[in-house]
């Protein structure tokens, strides 16, 4: 009888990952994107320890990547995935446990709930500090619109700012005025500071999607280009130490 030749295991190659970002850059190593959602995905890819490249998008061609015309978006090989939640779910499928930290079903559910909280309840504060507050407005004005021709720069930034202000009022974040919005933000930061773990991460001993969501939006509030808002987070010492741990757990890596 002719001996059988051992079969070589069939492996599925890891797709090439590309993260798409806005053309404007912060110029700061620890704030690789102005967008909290792009930052969230960037840190998720680092947490999953998958190599990836970042490419800046021509905003006139963004709908070629995502028909909704929004970021974040990422390419897993030829497959384009839009939205931070869908991208993180795709990463979890690619590297099982990378987004959920080995938690049981209850822990996994809680981690995703904290991500949802961060994406829906913290993001508007980031927008308010940059688009509504006159102290933060120079950041998007000078960075996001710098590439526009001079005639367009005369009116487009103001037009976009008015639209953003309207949306924040409609979402009931600034309907009562910016001072009331900041008072509520301060209470939320106090609650998070009291809840922040002394060690480890938000739900368990390993970083998860919950940490990625909270970190992305709170770290965006720590952006040094707007010092007064960064100080608001820095005053919450437990929360700051926690954010620093998440930062250290998702280090910048070469591709």
Question: What pLDDT score was predicted for residue 7?
Answer: 46
Question: What pLDDT score was predicted for residue 169?
Answer: 94
Q: Model's pTM, two decimal places? A: 0.90
The residue ranges of the chain whose pLDDT is under 70 are 1-13, 60, 253-255
Question: What pLDDT score was predicted for residue 72?
Answer: 92
Question: What pLDDT score was predicted for residue 253?
Answer: 65
Establish whether the linkage from the previous residue to 207 is cis, with ω within 30° of 0.
no
Question: What pLDDT score was predicted for residue 13?
Answer: 61
Question: What pLDDT score was predicted for residue 70?
Answer: 80
Biggest CA–CA distance in the chain, Å, is 86
Q: Where are the domains of the chain?
A: 17-249
Question: What pLDDT score was predicted for residue 255?
Answer: 46
Question: What pLDDT score was predicted for residue 147?
Answer: 78
Considering only CA atoms, which of 46, 232, 251 is closest in space to residue 122? 232
Question: What pLDDT score was predicted for residue 10?
Answer: 41
Question: What pLDDT score was predicted for residue 12?
Answer: 53
Question: What pLDDT score was predicted for residue 231?
Answer: 96
Contact yes or no for 212/88 (Cβ under 8 A):
yes
Output Rg (C-alpha) for the chain, integer angstroms: 20
CATH for 17-249?
1.20.1050.130
């Amino acid at each position: 009888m002719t001996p059988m030749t051992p079969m070589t295991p069939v492996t599925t190659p890891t797709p090439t990952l590309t993260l798409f970002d806005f053309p404007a850059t912060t110029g700061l190593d620890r704030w690789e994107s102005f967008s909290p959602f792009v930052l969230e995905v960037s840190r998720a890819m680092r947490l999953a320890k998958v190599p990836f490249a970042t490419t800046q998008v021509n905003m006139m061609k963004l709908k070629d990547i995502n028909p909704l015309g929004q970021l974040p978006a990422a390419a897993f090989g030829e497959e384009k995935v839009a939205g931070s939640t869908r991208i993180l779910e795709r990463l979890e499928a690619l590297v099982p446990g990378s987004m959920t930290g080995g938690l049981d079903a209850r822990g996994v559910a809680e981690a995703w709930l904290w991500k949802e909280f961060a994406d829906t309840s913290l993001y508007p504060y980031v927008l308010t500090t940059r688009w509504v507050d006159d102290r933060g407005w120079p950041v998007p004005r000078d960075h996001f619109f710098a590439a526009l021709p001079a005639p367009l720069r005369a009116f487009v930034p103001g037009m976009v700012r008015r639209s953003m202000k309207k949306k924040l009022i409609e979402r009931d974040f600034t309907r009562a005025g910016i001072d009331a919005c900041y008072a509520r933000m301060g209470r939320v930061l106090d609650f998070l500071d009291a809840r922040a773990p002394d060690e480890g991460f938000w739900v368990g001993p390993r970083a998860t999607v919950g940490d990625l969501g909270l970190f992305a939006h709170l770290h965006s509030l720590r952006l040094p280009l707007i010092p007064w808002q960064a100080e608001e987070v820095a005053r919450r010492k437990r929360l700051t130490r926690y954010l620093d741990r998440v930062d250290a757990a998702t280090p910048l890596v070469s591709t």
